[in-house]
Amino acid sequence: MATILIVSLSFLLPAQQTQLDIYKRPRQFERSRDYDAKHYRVELTFDLDEKIFWGTNTITLTPLKNEYYTCVLDAEELIVDAVKNPAGAQLEFEQTERHIIVHFPDAYNFGEDVLFTVEYHAKDPQRGLYFDDKTDEHPQMVTTVSWPEYAHHWLPCYDYPHDKVTHEFIITVKDTLKVLGNGRLVRIIEDKLNGTNTYHWSQDLPHSTYLFLLAIGPFAVIEDSLGPLPVNYWVYEEGVEDAKWIFEKTPYMIEFFDNIYGYKYPWAKYDQVISPRFGGGAENTSATLLGQGVIHDRKAEKDYSWERTIAHEIAHQWWGDLITLRSWEHTWLNESFGTYSDYLYTRYDKGKDEGAYELLRKKNSYLREAHTRYMRPIVFDRYERAQQNFDSHTYPKGAVVLHMLRFILGDEPFFRTLKHFLHKHEFEAVATHDFMKAVKEATGENMDWFFEQYIFSPGHPVFDVSYVWNEGAGNVRMMVRQVQDTSKGIPIYKVPVIIGIHTDEGKALEKVWIEKQEEVFTFPVEEKPLMMRFDEGNYLLKEWTFDKSANELLYQLKNDDVIGRSWAASELIKHKDDTDVVDALIACARNDEFWAVRQSAVETLGEMKREEDIELFKEKCSDKKSRVRAAALGILGELGKAELVPFLKERFEAEDSYLVQAEALRSIGKCGDPSHIPYLEEAAQMKSYRDVIKRAAESAIKTIQGRSSSYSPIPVVF
């Protein structure tokens, strides 16, 4: 899971040439099939020391055509020993590098049940299922990552998301190990003679193969619940105490999503299990796999919390597991909804300001990708590998698009649509047009125009906004131009926007529709506005320029919402020579109630590079929010003053945040000289979350060494 970055609040990023021509990628189409898999009964025995497993998969399927003689199963890295019918008779089969081809002696017809068993074994596969030896970081264990199409590396199956099946896992291991699978635990059979236990897990409701999970290891299992729903946390023994507080909100999160989706959690239980094989989270049905970095100390929680990731993966139990993308171009139906859900949770649990800033972070994450890599439609069928569609278009852009849809439809119709969609398509594979139809059915609104712009077209609107107050006429004329480059399929957008008109009389809100490349809106205003706000409420995915006077920005800095105040703080750099502006930014850096606004003010003051602000930056190194402290320390480091090193050391030693300590070390590197290298080498020995202190200290040492080295050219002899 990547560190959460606090990004610049400059809403119009510098234009850059995109680096990838993703339209050169091949078009992909939903896979065709000639049978419907119904049930897999997988019985495997594992030897973790030898890194092998062996057993059977008994497959029940129904042909989707008459004269069905041959079944093709996906299978890689597996060695098939035999294929048998229910009577135990051998069936003919062929095995290729990617498939098992089973031949039946007699034809089956459409709708008939076909049952057969594949006997197979494998040794240490390189995808799908992973054997990990014991290290200082984790015990000996096995975990699976079946996403996106890797389940067939550990069981023969039809491995594509549009085919949903039920299954059983009957897994035999040494009695020192525990086994987690999808669904409900039917029983554990002890074999004391052989020193083994056999775990029987049953997934009684259909789901896709990429959601199949096995985890085997000497886990400690922390039991929890939400009413009758079992909720458990499978962790390494040494992580139990931290895991208790890290996962303690899980039932609360499930209940929140129960209520907001209008669909009760659908599965038999919810487990979370940790693994060294994954950096973030993978939403297997009823059992999420999380990277072992989720277990951390309370000091790391300040800056490296996994709470939003935990919420995101829980949301997938509805968005991705209950309903599942039909093919990989529709990834947004899983990931955009999951990402929007973690925003909904953040706002619910942390408050509207944290929620608003989290939504802005998602917008900026997409904009970075749009400017530095590519722009593509959210629904996109050009890829070599399914993983290529799991990017910042699928996650944050899609989440922000859902927020805009909610804004246009209204809260009650929007959430009614989600409820209707989930109930109508439960346990099914779906495509984007299924959701579009659900909007019409639940609200009566035809939103095809919206999906065409934001889902099926690339890009986003870029607005140039200005206004004029006409005192004589008693009105304000606001001019809005769309200036995005439309040469590569980016449309001229139709979208509603709320204009906020702030005067001494109060605030008036006007909702208008932008439909053309250039629009002029006139509003009656008897007195000069104190502030004109474009997109009051911050609903739109957009970039914009909106030049304002220093006086208006100063008003906005004090009176707007957190997004507007942060934006005003960054915009005030344009008026850096105005003493009132400097004073206001200093006051904001000290007093604003929301940390991101204080940080924005500190960063703007840092851009001014005023010697007289050094004491302020030192003061902000004690701000109650770690990210503000880190920003202030970074600014002090950029000054490069040797006399700041004692202060930076003092802050490093006093800090209770790994993030801030790391910034203090990097700043020592920028201000220090070779005499400070022993201090940095000692700091590098300090244990920290993901070695952030060690890496910062090493970076600081390289900075000093690079600055200290002198260039001595080799003399040229003629």
Q: Which position has the token pair 């003061």?
A: 619
Mean pLDDT of 464-483: 97
Q: What is the pLDDT of residues 226-284, one digit of tens each?
A: 999 999 999 999 999 999 999 999 999 999 999 999 999 999 999 999 999 888 999 99
Mean pLDDT of 33-55: 98
User: By mean pLDDT, which of 9-23, 227-241, 342-356 is the weakest?
Assistant: 9-23
Write out the residue limits of the CATH 2.60.40.1840 domain(s) in the chain: 460-546
Q: What is the pLDDT of residues 539-593, one digit of tens each?
A: 999 999 999 999 999 999 999 999 999 999 999 999 999 999 999 999 999 999 9
Cβ proximity of 213 and 287 under 8 Å: yes
Is it the case that residue 8 has pLDDT exceeding 90? Answer: no
The conformational region for residue 414 under phi > 0 = left, psi -120 to 50 = alpha, else beta, is alpha
Residue 600 phi, psi dihedral angles, 5° rounding: -60, -40
Q: In whole angstroms, what is the distance from residue 718 CA to residue 313 CA?
A: 69
Reported as half-sphere exposure (CB side, CA atoms, 13 A), residue 510 has a value of: 18
| pLDDT at position 2 | 34
Rounded mean pLDDT of the chain?
95
- The model's confidence at residue 12, banded by pLDDT at 50, 70 and 90, is very low
| pLDDT at position 140 | 98
Q: In whole angstroms, what is the distance from residue 686 CA to residue 211 CA?
A: 39
Q: What is the pLDDT of residues 107-144, one digit of tens each?
A: 999 999 999 999 999 999 999 999 999 999 999 999 99
- The model's confidence at residue 20, banded by pLDDT at 50, 70 and 90, is confident
Write out the residue limits of the CATH 1.10.390.10 domain(s) in the chain: 322-454
Q: In whole angstroms, what is the distance from residue 696 CA to residue 704 CA?
A: 12
| pLDDT at position 19 | 72
Q: Which CATH number among 2.60.40.1840, 2.30.30.30, 1.10.3720.10, 3.40.190.10 corresponds to the domain 460-546?
A: 2.60.40.1840
| pLDDT at position 10 | 37
Angle at 541 between CA 437 and CA 419, to 5 degrees: 30
The CATH number of domain 35-218 is 2.60.40.1730: yes
Q: State the DSSP H helix or E strand holding residue 11, giving kind and residue range, or none if neither.
A: none
Residue 644 is classified by DSSP as: G
Mean pLDDT of 514-542: 97
| pLDDT at position 169 | 98
Spatial neighbors of 102 by CB under 8 A, at least 6 apart, are: 70, 71, 72, 73, 83, 91, 92, 93, 116, 118
How much of the chain exceeds pLDDT 70, in percent?
A: 96
Residue 420 burial (CB count, 10 A) = 17
Question: First CA to last CA across the chain, in angstroms?
Answer: 57
Q: Where are the beta strands (DSSP E) in 135-228?
A: 141-144, 164-174, 178-181, 184-191, 196-208, 214-217, 220-226
Residue 269 burial (CB count, 10 A) = 16
Q: What is the pLDDT of residues 634-644, one digit of tens each?
A: 999 999 999 99
Six-digit token string for 686 = 């300090």
Angle at 198 between CA 193 and CA 202, to 5 degrees: 160
Q: For 36-58, give the DSSP string.
A: EEEEEEEEEEEETTTTEEEEEEE
Is it the case that residue 1 has pLDDT exceeding 50? Answer: no
Is it the case that residue 714 has pLDDT exceeding 60? Answer: no
Is it the case that residue 3 has pLDDT exceeding 90? Answer: no
Among residues 563, 492, 493, 578, which one has the least CA distance to residue 533? 563
Is it the case that residue 7 has pLDDT exceeding 50? Answer: no
- The model's confidence at residue 67, banded by pLDDT at 50, 70 and 90, is very high
Cβ proximity of 9 and 567 under 8 Å: yes
Write out the residue limits of the CATH 2.60.40.1730 domain(s) in the chain: 35-218
Q: What is the pLDDT of residues 497-515, one digit of tens each?
A: 999 999 999 999 999 999 9
463 CB burial (10 A radius; 0-12, 13-18, 19+)? buried
Is it the case that residue 18 has pLDDT exceeding 70? Answer: no
How much of the chain exceeds pLDDT 90, in percent?
A: 95
| pLDDT at position 708 | 78
Mean pLDDT of 139-164: 98
- The model's confidence at residue 707, banded by pLDDT at 50, 70 and 90, is confident
State the SS3 of 274-325: EECCCCCEECCCCEEEEEHHHCCCHHHHHHHCCHHHHHHHHHCCCECCCEEE
| pLDDT at position 278 | 84
Cβ proximity of 152 and 74 under 8 Å: yes
Q: What is the CATH number of domain 322-454?
A: 1.10.390.10
- The model's confidence at residue 14, banded by pLDDT at 50, 70 and 90, is very low
